[in-house]
Structure 1
Amino acid sequence: MSTCKVCNEPAPLYGVTDFNKSCEERRGRYLPLTGVPVYYNRCDACGLIFTTAFDHWSKADYLQHIYNDDYVLVDPDYIDSRPTGNAAFILDFIKKGQGLRCLDYGGGNGTLTSLLGEGGVDGHSWDPMDEEGVPPSGSFDFISAFEVLEHTPEPLATVREALGLLNGRGVLLFSTLTIDHVSPRGMDNWYIAPRNGHITLYTRRSLQAMFAGLGYRIHHFNDNLHMALKEDPDWLS
């Protein structure tokens, strides 16, 4: 038994998988088993699925064991295809805005921000896993966080940090796959993937509880794309 990282309600053991389980298994690509078990819990109240296996890890541990040179084997889309698609989506999403200051939170290799710059956007990138990166200063009108929240062992702290970079009428647009319908033993779900660093998996209820507790309302475009804000900015109408 553990305690939910979002709502503090009881979260019994949900299942266990090998550390090398990755998202590429949905495409029929499997890594050799490591024999290292990773246990996940699921909250009885909000449905959050999470592991505490990495709670004690340092940034260096993540860079050595997950975000290393082999990471491309378990997430080949992060290099080019995902940033390209996300950049096109953002450019259309904010097209009514003028002079918006934008941040890609958890921006990885910075490809998305570079593409936004080519589209005339005042874009900035910051990744908490970047050992040499300097946290951004000032506030932003728009923040994107694509495939970020499932990677944090501290969801409340991460969301609080990202929202703290928004101005009063700023918008946070983020992606993370919500898992609202699970079987009693649903560890076969492709998104539960410790080798990808997927250590916190959400339901819509858990996202709503987390953002409401921080004073934000949330809109779900679909199971993967979500938006958090306090007030609608003019450019969003």
Structure 2
Amino acid sequence: MPGTLVFTATYNEADNVENLLNEIISHLPDADILIVDDHSPDGTGPLLDQLAAKNSRIHVVHRPSKLGLGTAHLLAMKYALHHNYEHLITMDADFSHNPKYLTIMKQLLEDNDFVIGSRYAKGGRCDYGLVRTLISRTANTLARYLLGIPTHEATTSYRGFSVDLLRQMDLNSIWSDGYSFFMESIFVVRLATRKLAEFPIHFEDRRAGTSKISKREIFKAIYNIFRLFYRRLFVIPFAVYQPNADIEKDPPCENCNSLFHMEMFPARFAANEDPSIYQCTSAGHRTHGRILKCLHCGLVFNETRHDAEKLLDFYSDVEDPTYLKNIDSRFKTFRYNFEKIKPRLPASGKLLDIGSYCGVSLKVAHENGFETLGVEPSKWAARYSEEVMQERVFQGTLKDLPAEEGPFDVITMWDVMEHLPHPVEEMKRIHSRLKPGGVFVFSTLFIDNWYPKIMKERWPWYMDMHLFYFTLDALSQLLTKAGLELVHHQKYTHIITLEYFFFKLDALGVFGAKYLGEVSGKTRLRNIMIPFSFGDIQMFICKRPDDS
């Protein structure tokens, strides 16, 4: 079994990190070192690679963007579990945590599950100024008394864990990011063990660079103290304690293949699966797999129960009379959004629509002067497109579309990306079907938005048929892998009838919505059109670079 893992997170620490690693090695020569760098623009990442090439005990994880200090520490915990270390020690990279204390930390871990280096234990010191010391002491005092934390220190990251403790902790219950993570994680430690120890340290001012804590982080920390106090009083006494899940059972991330994820929300499966949940107008808003966030790249995904072939079978058999009942609002939706993107499209040319469903988007593109072709897995929808809409459609997937079709000037994909089991593979196929300089337009779920952040697990788009939930960073990574360039993004607007609005509210369990829908359906009110544009569905315009 490997022994001790020392971890630190870096962002713009090029002036500190080499000296820090040398000092860690001098105090704990047998320890492994893990560094997670959040794409530092100052050259920290390449410097770490050079150091790792000279010392096999140094391991570097490069993340593609600034994903947060809390998720970096959670990644380190998962890494220590995955590699079966005995102890994990975490510290700052700016020398505010002097490596000379590492030997004391390791010694105390022999008899304790958790150890923290404390500024505020007897004999501890801190180089903060008066105002910052007052804020820090207030936060730590509140945490101690409101959250029942026995140590005098709760907010520093200079701490050690036995990996057996990490196995007993409910890591998925830690929601905080940034500096609030440290307070919440020690709160979870306290639920798993009583063997905690602290020892005094001198918390020094950083040797180089600038502090990264902001006023926003301070307010978040205060908010999280009271959120956790509420949990302590009203949630935890009635909750079922869940130790950390087996990492080996987690699926690899579709983007980066990492196994290190945080569970944002647990699975909510129905007793019997209804195939109608894969309709465009699905009412299956209350069932989904575990919602996971990759700690390596930030992609959020739904741990589906089915493989790609099974999902294709579901979509092939879909029939959706509710969609046809609301087809007028679909025309309004596509015409509205097409006008928004029209200035960024060529005036005419060949257009391919992937997931064209009943052909409404094809008809709108045709109206705007394009030669159109659709690709649609649903046999029912493809037949409707050809027989009623008089639009040419290939029944199947882009993978099976004959090579002689194309290349295309424009490829569109409306509300489909989140359904794809392998979005990178599909975007590579899109790249190969586009002419050089061709335009790819799609709409998809956008989780980096106020609405899902407020709604949390009640966000209506967490559902079985949605496999991915994108941030701008995650989408940019996927597009880059496919050789596509993101040019522009903006809100996507859905226009729906009042009757359909109540239908969706009923699916979400809103009391009285079914009755209101039935009443409105019997009056002229049913045809009132309502535009929805919360920003949690966005429209993205991309280009295939010109080969020249």
SS in structure 2 of the partner of residue 114 of structure 1? helix
> Which runs of structure 2 are paired with 1:63-212 in the superposition (5 Å)?
63-64=316-317, 67-69=318-320, 72=322, 79-90=327-338, 93-94=341-342, 97-130=346-379, 133=395, 135=401, 137-180=405-448, 186-194=456-464, 197-212=465-480
- Rate the CA distance shift 1:192–1:105 in 2: closer, same or farther, 3 A: same
Following superposition, the deviation at residue 31 of structure 1 comes to 6.3
CA contact (8 A) 2:284 2:463 kept: no
Following superposition, the deviation at residue 144 of structure 1 comes to 1.2
- Rate the CA distance shift 1:215–1:154 in 2: closer, same or farther, 3 A: same
Taking the aligned partners of 2:334 and 2:314, their CA distance within structure 1 comes to: 29
Of 292, 298, 306, the residue aligned with 1:41 is 292
Matching residue of 2:48: none
1:176-201 CA-partner distances (Å, limit 9, x unpaired):
12102666x9332111122xx21222
Following superposition, the deviation at residue 153 of structure 1 comes to 1.5
CA contact (8 A) 2:347 2:369 kept: no
CA contact (8 A) 2:351 2:409 kept: yes
CA contact (8 A) 2:293 2:300 kept: yes
Taking the aligned partners of 1:30 and 1:129, their CA distance within structure 2 comes to: 18
Taking the aligned partners of 1:83 and 1:30, their CA distance within structure 2 comes to: 21
Matching residue of 1:11: 261
Amino acid of the residue matched to residue 173 of structure 1?
V
Taking the aligned partners of 1:86 and 1:153, their CA distance within structure 2 comes to: 25
Following superposition, the deviation at residue 4 of structure 1 comes to 1.0
Following superposition, the deviation at residue 155 of structure 1 comes to 1.5
SS in structure 2 of the partner of residue 207 of structure 1? helix
Following superposition, the deviation at residue 157 of structure 1 comes to 1.9
Matching residue of 2:483: 215
Amino acid of the residue matched to residue 221 of structure 1?
Q
Taking the aligned partners of 2:542 and 2:371, their CA distance within structure 1 comes to: 21
Taking the aligned partners of 1:227 and 1:32, their CA distance within structure 2 comes to: 28
1:90-118 CA-partner distances (Å, limit 9, x unpaired):
25633673432111111111122123223
- Rate the CA distance shift 1:89–1:214 in 2: closer, same or farther, 3 A: same
Q: State the percentage of identical aligned residues.
A: 21
Equivalent residues, number = 217
CA contact (8 A) 2:289 2:302 kept: no
CA contact (8 A) 1:39 1:53 kept: no
Taking the aligned partners of 1:37 and 1:212, their CA distance within structure 2 comes to: 29
In the superposition, the TM-score normalised over structure 2's length comes to 0.35
- Rate the CA distance shift 1:210–1:32 in 2: closer, same or farther, 3 A: closer
CA RMSD of superposed structures (Å): 3.4
CA contact (8 A) 1:40 1:52 kept: no
Following superposition, the deviation at residue 11 of structure 1 comes to 2.6
Which blocks of at least 5 consecutive residues in structure 1 are unaligned? 23-28, 233-237
Amino acid of the residue matched to residue 349 of structure 2?
L
CA contact (8 A) 2:419 2:467 kept: yes
Amino acid of the residue matched to residue 11 of structure 1?
H
Taking the aligned partners of 1:76 and 1:51, their CA distance within structure 2 comes to: 32
Following superposition, the deviation at residue 169 of structure 1 comes to 0.6
Following superposition, the deviation at residue 87 of structure 1 comes to 3.3
In the superposition, the TM-score normalised over structure 1's length comes to 0.75
- Rate the CA distance shift 1:18–1:157 in 2: closer, same or farther, 3 A: same
- Rate the CA distance shift 1:193–1:80 in 2: closer, same or farther, 3 A: farther
